Amino acid sequence: MIAPTNNNRITLPPLENGDLLSRAEFERRYTAMPHLKKAELIEGIVYMASPLRFEPHAEPHANLIGWLWNYKIATPGLRLGDNPTVRLDTDNEPQPDAVLLINASCGGQSRFDEEGYIEGAPELVAEIAASTASIDLRDKKRVYRRNGVKEYLVWQVMEERFDWFSLQDGEYISVTPDVAGIIRSQVFPGLWLAVSALLAGDMLQVIATLQNGLASNEHQQFLQQLINNQ
Protein backbone atom coordinates (compact mmCIF):
# COMPACT_ATOMS: atom_id res chain seq x y z
CA MET A 1 0.00 0.00 0.00
CA ILE A 2 1.24 3.46 -0.88
CA ALA A 3 0.97 5.96 1.95
CA PRO A 4 -1.16 8.98 1.13
CA THR A 5 0.72 12.14 0.18
CA ASN A 6 0.49 14.97 2.68
CA ASN A 7 -0.34 17.92 0.48
CA ASN A 8 -0.81 20.15 3.50
CA ARG A 9 2.85 20.09 4.58
CA ILE A 10 4.12 23.64 5.15
CA THR A 11 7.40 24.56 3.45
CA LEU A 12 9.63 26.86 5.49
CA PRO A 13 10.12 30.13 3.59
CA PRO A 14 13.72 31.18 2.88
CA LEU A 15 15.25 34.27 4.40
CA GLU A 16 14.93 37.34 2.20
CA ASN A 17 16.41 40.81 2.52
CA GLY A 18 13.91 43.09 4.19
CA ASP A 19 11.89 40.35 5.92
CA LEU A 20 10.30 41.51 9.17
CA LEU A 21 10.73 38.63 11.62
CA SER A 22 10.95 37.73 15.27
CA ARG A 23 14.34 36.50 16.42
CA ALA A 24 13.00 32.97 16.86
CA GLU A 25 11.65 32.85 13.30
CA PHE A 26 14.85 34.43 11.94
CA GLU A 27 16.93 31.71 13.59
CA ARG A 28 14.58 28.97 12.36
CA ARG A 29 14.89 30.06 8.74
CA TYR A 30 18.63 30.78 9.00
CA THR A 31 19.28 27.30 10.40
CA ALA A 32 17.35 25.78 7.49
CA MET A 33 19.72 27.49 5.00
CA PRO A 34 23.19 26.03 5.80
CA HIS A 35 24.61 27.40 2.54
CA LEU A 36 23.97 30.96 3.72
CA LYS A 37 27.15 32.56 5.05
CA LYS A 38 25.85 35.70 6.74
CA ALA A 39 22.48 37.14 7.67
CA GLU A 40 21.61 39.57 10.43
CA LEU A 41 18.47 40.69 12.24
CA ILE A 42 18.59 44.41 12.98
CA GLU A 43 15.55 46.01 14.60
CA GLY A 44 13.47 43.06 13.40
CA ILE A 45 14.56 43.42 9.76
CA VAL A 46 16.64 40.82 7.90
CA TYR A 47 19.85 41.97 6.20
CA MET A 48 21.80 39.57 4.02
CA ALA A 49 25.38 40.28 2.95
CA SER A 50 26.45 40.61 -0.67
CA PRO A 51 29.58 38.80 -1.90
CA LEU A 52 32.62 40.46 -0.33
CA ARG A 53 35.39 41.98 -2.41
CA PHE A 54 39.03 41.67 -1.38
CA GLU A 55 40.28 45.24 -1.00
CA PRO A 56 37.13 46.95 0.34
CA HIS A 57 36.45 44.24 2.92
CA ALA A 58 38.46 41.01 3.13
CA GLU A 59 41.92 42.56 3.50
CA PRO A 60 41.00 45.31 6.00
CA HIS A 61 38.99 42.74 7.92
CA ALA A 62 42.07 40.53 8.20
CA ASN A 63 44.23 43.47 9.30
CA LEU A 64 41.73 44.47 11.99
CA ILE A 65 41.54 40.90 13.27
CA GLY A 66 45.35 40.70 13.31
CA TRP A 67 45.58 43.82 15.48
CA LEU A 68 42.94 42.55 17.91
CA TRP A 69 44.43 39.03 17.98
CA ASN A 70 47.84 40.33 19.03
CA TYR A 71 46.18 42.17 21.91
CA LYS A 72 44.08 39.16 22.89
CA ILE A 73 46.97 36.68 23.11
CA ALA A 74 48.82 39.09 25.41
CA THR A 75 45.78 39.53 27.65
CA PRO A 76 44.54 36.30 29.25
CA GLY A 77 40.86 36.44 30.16
CA LEU A 78 39.71 37.89 26.83
CA ARG A 79 37.96 36.22 23.89
CA LEU A 80 38.13 37.34 20.25
CA GLY A 81 35.53 36.35 17.67
CA ASP A 82 35.32 36.66 13.89
CA ASN A 83 31.74 37.03 12.57
CA PRO A 84 29.99 35.48 15.60
CA THR A 85 26.23 35.50 16.04
CA VAL A 86 25.30 37.80 18.93
CA ARG A 87 21.90 37.47 20.57
CA LEU A 88 21.35 41.02 21.80
CA ASP A 89 17.59 41.26 22.32
CA THR A 90 14.30 40.05 20.86
CA ASP A 91 14.67 42.15 17.69
CA ASN A 92 18.40 42.08 17.14
CA GLU A 93 20.82 39.30 16.25
CA PRO A 94 23.79 40.84 14.43
CA GLN A 95 26.84 39.03 13.13
CA PRO A 96 29.62 41.61 13.60
CA ASP A 97 32.91 41.45 11.73
CA ALA A 98 34.77 41.18 15.05
CA VAL A 99 34.06 41.18 18.77
CA LEU A 100 36.44 41.43 21.70
CA LEU A 101 34.98 40.48 25.04
CA ILE A 102 35.97 39.82 28.61
CA ASN A 103 35.20 36.31 29.82
CA ALA A 104 32.21 36.18 32.15
CA SER A 105 34.49 34.46 34.69
CA CYS A 106 36.70 37.57 34.66
CA GLY A 107 33.85 40.04 35.07
CA GLY A 108 32.67 40.39 31.47
CA GLN A 109 29.17 41.57 30.63
CA SER A 110 28.25 38.88 28.06
CA ARG A 111 28.12 35.11 28.24
CA PHE A 112 27.81 32.02 26.04
CA ASP A 113 24.39 30.37 26.10
CA GLU A 114 23.73 26.64 26.03
CA GLU A 115 23.94 26.62 22.22
CA GLY A 116 27.30 28.38 22.17
CA TYR A 117 26.07 31.77 20.97
CA ILE A 118 27.01 35.09 22.57
CA GLU A 119 24.19 36.34 24.78
CA GLY A 120 24.33 40.02 25.63
CA ALA A 121 26.66 42.80 24.55
CA PRO A 122 30.39 42.20 24.02
CA GLU A 123 32.57 44.98 25.39
CA LEU A 124 33.90 45.86 21.90
CA VAL A 125 32.39 45.41 18.45
CA ALA A 126 34.12 46.25 15.15
CA GLU A 127 32.56 46.50 11.69
CA ILE A 128 34.04 46.99 8.22
CA ALA A 129 31.82 49.39 6.25
CA ALA A 130 32.00 50.47 2.64
CA SER A 131 31.03 54.08 3.35
CA THR A 132 29.09 56.41 5.66
CA ALA A 133 25.91 55.25 3.93
CA SER A 134 26.25 51.84 5.58
CA ILE A 135 23.78 50.45 8.09
CA ASP A 136 26.76 50.09 10.44
CA LEU A 137 26.60 53.82 11.18
CA ARG A 138 22.83 54.00 11.47
CA ASP A 139 20.68 51.17 12.80
CA LYS A 140 23.52 48.98 14.06
CA LYS A 141 25.11 51.86 15.91
CA ARG A 142 21.82 52.59 17.66
CA VAL A 143 21.31 48.91 18.53
CA TYR A 144 24.82 48.50 19.92
CA ARG A 145 24.50 51.68 21.97
CA ARG A 146 21.12 50.68 23.40
CA ASN A 147 22.39 47.22 24.37
CA GLY A 148 25.53 48.51 26.10
CA VAL A 149 28.42 47.75 23.72
CA LYS A 150 31.08 49.88 25.38
CA GLU A 151 33.28 50.53 22.35
CA TYR A 152 32.14 50.44 18.74
CA LEU A 153 34.68 50.64 15.91
CA VAL A 154 33.67 51.30 12.28
CA TRP A 155 36.23 51.30 9.46
CA GLN A 156 34.87 53.05 6.37
CA VAL A 157 37.32 51.65 3.86
CA MET A 158 36.26 53.54 0.73
CA GLU A 159 36.41 56.86 2.56
CA GLU A 160 39.65 56.03 4.40
CA ARG A 161 38.05 56.82 7.73
CA PHE A 162 38.06 55.04 11.08
CA ASP A 163 35.45 55.88 13.72
CA TRP A 164 35.88 54.82 17.34
CA PHE A 165 32.84 55.36 19.55
CA SER A 166 32.95 55.13 23.34
CA LEU A 167 29.77 54.62 25.39
CA GLN A 168 29.49 57.38 27.97
CA ASP A 169 26.30 58.05 29.98
CA GLY A 170 24.25 56.05 27.49
CA GLU A 171 25.53 57.86 24.40
CA TYR A 172 28.29 57.16 21.90
CA ILE A 173 31.05 59.77 21.98
CA SER A 174 33.49 59.90 19.08
CA VAL A 175 37.08 59.29 20.20
CA THR A 176 39.75 61.07 18.17
CA PRO A 177 43.49 60.29 17.91
CA ASP A 178 45.87 62.14 20.22
CA VAL A 179 48.74 64.34 19.00
CA ALA A 180 50.71 61.18 18.18
CA GLY A 181 47.87 59.86 16.01
CA ILE A 182 46.95 57.12 18.49
CA ILE A 183 43.59 56.10 19.95
CA ARG A 184 43.79 54.35 23.31
CA SER A 185 40.93 52.11 24.42
CA GLN A 186 39.25 53.04 27.68
CA VAL A 187 37.78 49.57 28.14
CA PHE A 188 40.85 47.53 27.17
CA PRO A 189 43.93 49.32 28.56
CA GLY A 190 46.92 48.88 26.26
CA LEU A 191 44.80 48.45 23.13
CA TRP A 192 46.40 51.26 21.16
CA LEU A 193 45.72 51.99 17.51
CA ALA A 194 47.86 54.05 15.13
CA VAL A 195 44.93 55.09 12.97
CA SER A 196 46.81 56.58 10.01
CA ALA A 197 49.06 53.52 9.81
CA LEU A 198 46.05 51.19 9.74
CA LEU A 199 44.37 53.19 6.99
CA ALA A 200 47.61 53.12 4.98
CA GLY A 201 48.02 49.36 5.43
CA ASP A 202 51.22 49.80 7.45
CA MET A 203 50.64 46.87 9.78
CA LEU A 204 54.23 46.88 11.05
CA GLN A 205 53.59 50.32 12.56
CA VAL A 206 50.17 49.25 13.82
CA ILE A 207 51.69 46.30 15.69
CA ALA A 208 54.65 48.37 16.94
CA THR A 209 52.22 50.89 18.46
CA LEU A 210 50.20 48.07 19.99
CA GLN A 211 53.36 46.60 21.53
CA ASN A 212 53.98 49.95 23.23
CA GLY A 213 50.48 49.74 24.66
CA LEU A 214 51.04 46.21 25.88
CA ALA A 215 54.19 47.36 27.67
CA SER A 216 52.36 50.19 29.45
CA ASN A 217 51.60 50.26 33.18
CA GLU A 218 47.90 50.49 32.32
CA HIS A 219 47.97 47.13 30.57
CA GLN A 220 49.82 45.50 33.45
CA GLN A 221 47.22 46.82 35.88
CA PHE A 222 44.43 45.51 33.63
CA LEU A 223 46.03 42.04 33.63
CA GLN A 224 46.05 42.07 37.42
CA GLN A 225 42.42 43.19 37.47
CA LEU A 226 41.39 40.27 35.25
CA ILE A 227 43.24 37.86 37.53
CA ASN A 228 41.59 39.33 40.63
CA ASN A 229 38.13 38.97 39.08
CA GLN A 230 38.50 35.25 38.44
Residue-number span of the structural domain to which 77 is assigned: 53-229
Give the pLDDT score at 133.
Answer: 58
- Tell me how far apart the 2 most distant CA atoms of the chain are, in Å: 83
Q: Which helix (H) or strand (E) is 172 found in, with range? A: strand 171-175
H/E element holding 165? strand 161-168
pTM value surpassing 0.75: yes
Query: What is the rounded CA–CA span in Å between residue 102 and residue 227?
Result: 12
**Looking at residue 229, what is its pLDDT?**
87
pLDDT at 212: 98
pLDDT of residue 8: 43
Q: Give the chain's domain count.
A: 2
Residue ranges, the chain, pLDDT below 70: 1-10, 131-133
The predicted pLDDT at position 131 comes to 59
Q: What is the pLDDT of residue 13?
A: 87
Q: Closest Cα partner for 187 from 114, 97, 107?
A: 107
Q: Are residues 141 and 87 in the same domain?
A: yes
Residue 1 domain-assigned? no
Report the pLDDT value the prediction gives residue 47, as an integer from 0 to 100: 86
Same domain, 140 and 168: yes
Give buried/exposed letters for 135-148 (b at 16+ CB in 10 A, else e): bbbebbbebbbebe
**Same domain as 98, residue 29:** no
Q: Which pLDDT score is estimated for 1? A: 36
Do 118 and 46 share a structural domain? no
In a domain, 5, yes or no: no
Q: How far apart are CA 20 and CA 215, in angstroms?
A: 48
One domain for residues 78 and 167: yes
Tell me, what's the pLDDT at 217?
A: 98
Identify the pLDDT of residue 36: 85
pLDDT of residue 180: 96
